[in-house]
Amino acid sequence: MILCQNVVKRYPGGQEALSQVSLRMDEGAMAYLTGHSGAGKSTLLKLISLIERPTRGRITVNGQHLNTLPRRKVPHFRRSIGIIFQDHHLLHDRTVFDNVALPLVILGYRSPEIARRVRAALDKVGLLHKERARPVTLSSGEQQRVGIARAVVHKPAVLLADEPTGNLDPDLSREIMNLFLQFNQVGVTTLIASHDLELITTLGKPILRLEAGRLVDTGAPPAPLHAGAPA
Amino acid sequence: MKPDVARKSRTRATGAPPIHSRFQAWGVNHAQALVFSLGRLYRNPFTAALTLTVIAIALALPAGLWLALKNLQAASGEWDHGAQLSVFVADSVSEDTLRVLAGRIQSMDAVESARAITREEALAEFRALSGFGEALDLLDHNPLPALVLVTPAADHQGPSRVQALSVELEALEEVTQAQVDLQWVQRLQAILEMTRRGVALVAVLLGLGVLLVVGNTIRLDILNRRREIEVAKLVGATDGFIRRPFLYGGLWLGLFGGVLALIIVGVGLALLNGPVQQLATLYGSDFRLEGPGLAGALGLLGLAVALGLGGSWIAVGRHLRDIEPR
């Protein structure tokens, strides 16, 4: 569950990235976050994943009040969420397998269990045959899928994605979005920032629209014309 | 594509493994960090060799000086106990009177033994040991005085006691001068004491240098792996997890630097031992250079490891916190 109450984020210099943003996502819900560049999509995701802290307002994720969470507890909080970035943040000196295994190594799993889970996650994103490859040898669509496998390998309750299809062509983008829909189907609360309105309006999930740091559209279902099961 | 990967998320939200497995994994993780940091040294052999050499030299220098001091002290200690007084006798004293005098001195409480050396014996000894034999032949008379060599009793070895004895001996009628052979030993001791301070100072400075070298190496390592650290923090790595490989990196630098320093010291000892023994033989001593010994070697290694860990600890504490995902 994600709950934001009157969240304000002001950067040094007075620029207000988010103004009085309130939103509520129940456990197992899925939504898209859209808006122009600089509207505050990334900022909101950073606040929810505790990469940054809000200037004012309360944020609660999985029942944890992030405002009062001390610094030393941040790692434990991060383990309950999966984060996906536009530039996928992969480590290029390690294999695909090792990249995906990182969250499990940190959690303290033993190698047979790590291998089993990593392969399951890679299988899920269709990259099991690439586990020995280095990320640089993969296409950007494949790299993004490695990033997704890493974000879900430890089975987080919340999945956050910041422009996961930013660099991909429409077919690949749809493929990636379908993956997210599948994760959501098994109960993962999923919030995806994307400016690809054309694509996300066809996916049948609520769309939250940010404009200059304000939430102007709090998740009305998409137009009936586009509603329906994902492709 | 099956959705079973994410399905279990509802039953176990954070996906943490059971406690015993985590504890075991903690140990495994330490071992991995240890091996991983070793592997990094191995993969950057040139940089590693350079850093290790700097550390080794910085450690070997004070260690070598300390050893030199230790050996000098051992050598001077040998002389210290053999403190003797040369009691010179007037040329007019006959050989018989000389022997009587030696007997009288011998009977003194403060004296362990007294040996009479006649002018001829002194000349013979001088000729044998000094190498000036031919020069002596040019002289038409024996320039050396007769003397009594006095070894103070064991409980009269202290400098003030020996001094008192020399005054007592000088008061004797036949005696022209009583010379304590101890003065230069005392001066040497004073010089050694001064040098010890100097070596301690140098050791502290060079130890600080090792700390900074390791700290800087680890700092660069941290900056080079900034991205890796950010990613690890994003997926929930604790500070401890991230710190570990860097701390172990410092430990390896210290340990290998220490081993290299011991090798340098060992080679230095081996090179010096020959000439030193030759010199000792010339002085009629069987003195030989003493190595650091097992305790000394372990001490040096322990110090090196401590400096390595300390240096990396400083760098890690200073820089890891600054790196946060953006």
DSSP for B224-238, written as a single string: HTHHHHHHHHHTT--
Amino acid at B240: G
In the predicted model, what is the mean pLDDT of residues A21-27?
Answer: 90
CB contact under 8 A, B17 and A105: no
Do B303 and B177 belong together in one domain?
Answer: no
Give the chain B residue nearest A53 (alpha carbons): B326
Do B136 and B228 belong together in one domain?
Answer: no
Strands A207-211 and A189-193: unpaired
- Give the lowest-confidence range in A41-50, A118-127, A171-180, B122-131: B122-131
Domain containing residue B145: CATH number: 3.30.70.3040
Burial of B166 (0-12, 13-18, 19+ CB in 10 A): buried
- B151 CA to centre of own chain: 33
Do B162 and B294 belong together in one domain?
Answer: no
Which among B12, B14, B17 has the least Cβ separation from residue A109? B17
Number of domains in chain B: 2
pLDDT at A221: 52
Q: Is residue A33 part of a domain?
A: yes
**Residues B75 and B287 sit within 8 Å (Cβ to Cβ):** yes
Which residues share a beta bridge with B177?
Answer: B88
**Residues A159 and A189 sit within 8 Å (Cβ to Cβ):** yes
The string of pLDDT tens digits covering residues B313-326 is: 999 988 888 888 87
Residues in chain B, pLDDT under 50: 1-13
The string of pLDDT tens digits covering residues B202-213 is: 999 999 999 999
pLDDT at B1: 42
Listed residue (B162, B57, B41) closest to B112, CA to CA: B162
In the predicted model, what is the mean pLDDT of residues A41-47?
Answer: 92
Q: Is residue A181 part of a domain?
A: yes
What is the ipTM score, two decimals?
A: 0.86
Last residue in a domain, options B147, B163, B181: B181
Q: Is residue B20 part of a domain?
A: no
CB contact under 8 A, B227 and A154: no
CB contact under 8 A, A78 and B233: yes
Q: Is residue A202 part of a domain?
A: yes
Task: State the Cα–Cα distance between residues A100 and A96, nearest whole angstrom.
Answer: 6
Task: State the Cα–Cα distance between residues B239 and B176, nearest whole angstrom.
Answer: 81
Q: Is residue A172 part of a domain?
A: yes
The string of pLDDT tens digits covering residues A174-231 is: 989 999 999 999 999 999 999 888 888 888 889 999 888 888 876 555 444 433 444 3
Last residue in a domain, options B181, B215, B247: B181
Q: Is residue B218 classed as helix, strand or coil in its secondary structure? A: helix
Listed residue (A179, A184, A183) closest to A164, CA to CA: A179
Tokens in use for A15?
Answer: 């620029």
**Residues A159 and A191 sit within 8 Å (Cβ to Cβ):** yes
Q: How high is the mean pLDDT of chain A?
A: 88
Give phi and psi for B253, each to the nearest 5.
-55, -45
pLDDT at B282: 82
Residue in this structure with the two tokens 């404009």, named with its chain if needed? A211
Tokens in use for A5?
Answer: 């109450």
Which residues share a beta bridge with A160?
Answer: A83, A191
pLDDT at B99: 87
Number of domains in chain A: 1
Domain containing residue A9: CATH number: 3.40.50.300
Do B93 and B240 belong together in one domain?
Answer: no
Q: Which of residues 148-187 of A touch B (CB under 8 A)?
A: 150, 152-157, 179, 182-183, 185-187
pLDDT at B7: 41
Domain boundaries, position B309: 29-78+187-319
Amino acid at B301: L
The string of pLDDT tens digits covering residues B87-130 is: 888 888 888 888 888 888 888 888 888 888 888 888 888 877 77
